[in-house]
Structure 1
Amino acid sequence: MEWRKRAQGLAELATDPDSRWRTPVARTPRHQLAPRWWERDASGQWALRDGPSDPRAWADAAYADRSLITQVDGLHADKAEPHDHPEGLPESSATQAGLLVRMLCHARVGDGLSLLDLGTGAGGLTAYACHRLGDQHVTSLDVDPYLVSAAGERLAAMGHHPRMVTADATEYVPGAYDRVVCTVALAPGRGLASVIRAVRPGGRIATTLARTSLIVTGWKNEAGEIEGRVERDMAGFMLPRSGDAPRPDLAELFARARESGGEESGTGRYPVVDVADAWELRSMLEVTVPGVELGYETGDRTRTAYLVHPDGSWARASAEWTDPPEVHQAGPQRLWSALERIRNRLNTEGALPLLGAKALITPDGAVHLSRGHWHASLGSPSAEAPR
């Protein structure tokens, strides 16, 4: 494949004309990092795509500014058969080049600085960093041994030999770094604390928070805290996969949300929305009620949203198009009511207080956000409700 012209085109899409990251993107054969990937077919199933068997489609996919899903429900595309159709959620990807560049810029990566790429994935960010900084300054870490091994081999074929580490970052991150860029969404609390410890005093981190699209950046002070802000930018990253902290099985609660009449019913104020795609609403909901999981279904004319929480709370809102929804709720918290209060604030004030907020991450991994009279805390046992 003649990839250089394609990579140059991707670099023009993913970077500004004066960006120091333009050359690394233009000189990286991205297709080599994702020879196979998953795409949804016409029926909505995950279907395997094999690059070498269709070089044109491979080039089109690899050099578009998009993410390529490489692992679904534990099955990596490298190990899949053509008849495989995994049914779970995406777990790893070759992340969109433009997003990787934005995260590197948020981290203020510069020459001579040591960098930890937390969340190796297919190895794209590691490749760009090696081009810019030199292999000796770059460490790439992932919890999945196969991802680390495959990315390491593919990077070596390009001439890059960074330090490749397999570790559960929510438990322990070996080493200390001037810059940490997280391409997984970290949960406030113990897991984030482990990562914060790996940032050198005076160093900087750029990460997103679990179940939000908030990019939090900051500098580490002598007290071991990260002082920074929520960037006026958003990104969606997957949750880390930790063998010691499996995702709660909420299937039974989702079934209850679909079938039950609930403890309370009524008519909602606002139309049904797919909360997962409404990034700012989703982020504010997580800040307000941490731990909510989402579901969304559409029919010929109907839209239904589900919210469930590990404490047993659930909500269902269903309506035709933009009509006021019929809402059913149960459990310790009224989840749809919490969402409607957020939407009311957005409509009343024209904005939510998240983007641009001050951020303080304490050594225990708790995240404290504030803007004017508003403040919220995540990940601390004594966290207060947002005000």
Structure 2
Amino acid sequence: MHRTSPDWERHAARMADATVRPESRWHRPLATTARHLFVPRWWTWTHSEREGRWAYELHDGPSAPEAWMNSAYDRHTTLTTRVGRHHADHATPGTLIPETRPTSSSTLPRLVVEMYRHAVIADDSRTLVTCGSGYGTALACRRLGADRVTSVDVDPYLVQAARERLDAIGHRPRLEVCDVTGELPGSFDRIVSTVSVETIPASWLTALAPGGRLVTTLARTGLVIVADKTADGGATGQVAPEAAAFMSTRHGDDYPPGPDNTVLWTTARTAEGDSVTTGRYPVMRVNDAWDVRSTLELMVPGVEHRMDDSPGGARTAYMLHPDGSWARAAAAGPRDLPTVHQGGPRRLWDELDKIRTWLVIDGDLPVAGAAVTIDPDGTCHLNRSGWTATIGAR
């Protein structure tokens, strides 16, 4: 692969310069790690002219070296390497995969380094990271030495592929196939997870050395949790001010099928609501507002958001919940107040409007910078300025 991409060092050096300052301890790892070797193929979500629909399209790096370098060394680009059970390494060029959930990726380099910087990794830190493509593991090895790095993934193929690619560039960390939410293979000074968890696994607190630090994100939110182990076996810390989002942990070859929302979706699109009102605010893209989305997830876990846009500027937002609640908010334009239909046991749009009112009055939401206390069983408590939320152990 080096023969097909002789200038990768130039791309990597440019990415390092754009990501961190030259004196950063992460500059050299970024500038000297060949990310493209870990992602020879990847999927992109695109509208297929051939199929006339949206699908994941396979890209083969060696057959298009310039596009390979531009994608691999873009600090803002996450490269999806697996969708459902389909790994890009095993797919035939030209393959299209219809809508399904991504199951592995090479996280954008800027975010990998940001998670590592939250961890404040010292030169002698025994560090556990999550594997995926192996690129983040390579950065940790370059920074610390492979003997201080353990990398885990639930997928045996991903671990084997990462092992071979790491070995090719001279890194031989400990690599294990395991569910990161279960028992971990050792004791660590730092645990950095670039997959999201439902709540903090109790096993992490067991595996953390006294004073050790964990860094992770909570599933379906943008919340980055940074916490240090305490003497009682729990941990304390805070929510980082910057948002991040990763794929959620899975416990097997694929995610289990989600609930069948066909009937609820039809209802949300067409039914007259039990409640019909005018919303307080214009329709917003909740998935693009991490603080609003995160607060709503803590208050009403499990809401699914969908959006329809028309060429004339009209937009309709939908909210669906597993308990049968639904909401539809339709507005003639992006600045118009919507007509809101709601049904089921909860008024989902009212919950959203409460959060937006809170944001208007206070100027921010307390999830950013909230204090974090984690019990030894993994129960996570957030609090800031009188606001509290608890994410229970599961």
Match status 1:110 vs 2:115: no
Normalising to structure 2: TM-score of the pair?
0.91
| Structure 2 counterparts to residues 283-362 of structure 1, below 5 A | 283-300=294-311, 301-322=313-334, 323-362=336-375
SS at 2:18's partner residue?
Answer: helix
- After TM superposition, the runs of 4+ consecutive aligned structure 1 residues lying more than 4 A away are none
Asked if 1:37 corresponds to 2:42, the answer is: yes
Shift of 1:53: 0.5
1:368 paired to 2:377: no
Q: Which residue is equivalent to 2:230?
A: 221
SS at match of 1:45: strand
Counterparts of 1:234-273 in structure 2, within 5 Å, are 234-243=243-252, 246=256, 248-252=258-262, 253-273=264-284
Task: Say which of 237, 240, 243 aligns to 1:231.
Answer: 240
Counterpart residue number, 1:21: 26
Amino acid at match of 1:291: G
Alignment of 1:63-78 (within 5 A): 63-65=73-75, 66-78=77-89
* Aligned residues of 2:222 and 2:294 also touching (Cα < 8 A): yes
Match for 1:6: what amino acid?
A: H
User: Would you say the 8 A contact 1:248–1:310 is kept in 2?
Assistant: no
Alignment of 1:8 onto 2:19: no
Corresponding pairs, count? 378
Structure 1 position 247, deviation (Å): 5.4
- Do the aligned partners of 1:72 and 1:86 also contact (CA within 8 Å) in 2? no
Q: Give SS of 2:121's match.
A: coil
Tell me the C-alpha RMSD between the 2 structures. Answer: 1.8
Q: How far apart in 2 are the matches of 1:226 and 1:203?
A: 9
User: Following the alignment from structure 1 to structure 2, what is the Cα–Cα distance between the partners of residues 197 and 304?
Assistant: 47
| Maintained 8 Å contact 2:106/2:133 | yes
| 1:100 pairs with 2:133 | no
CA deviation map 1:224-271 (0-9, x unaligned):
111000111111111111239835324233333223333222221111
Q: Would the aligned equivalents of 2:55 and 2:96 in 1 still touch at CA under 8 Å?
A: no
- Residue 79 of structure 2 aligns with an amino acid whose one-letter code is L
Unaligned runs of 5+ in 2: 49-53
Q: Does the Cα contact within 8 Å between 1:35 and 1:52 map onto a contact in 2? A: yes
List gaps (5 residues or longer) in structure 1. 382-387
For residue 315 of structure 1, report the CA deviation from its aligned partner: 1.7
Aligned mate of 1:61, from 62, 66, 71 = 71
Which residue of 147, 154, 167 maps to 1:136?
147
Q: Write the letter of the residue equivalent to 2:30.
A: V
* Matched letter for residue 362 of structure 1: D
Indicate how the Cα distance of structure 1 residues 286 and 163 shifts in structure 2: closer, same or farther if over 3 A, else same.
same
Question: Of 155, 170, 173, which aligns to 1:162?
Answer: 173
- Once the two structures are overlaid, the 10-residue window that deviates more, 79-88 or 173-182, is 79-88
Tell me the TM-score normalised to structure 1 length.
Answer: 0.93
Number of the residue aligned with 1:88:
100
Instruction: Give the Cα separation in 1 of the matches to 2:218 and 2:14.
Output: 31
| Residue 51 (structure 2) aligns with | none
More moved, 123-132 vs 321-330: 321-330
- Percentage of identical aligned residues: 47
Greater shift, 317-326 or 45-54, is seen at: 317-326
Mapped partners of 1:336, 1:307: distance in 2: 8
**1:186 is the counterpart of 2:191:** no
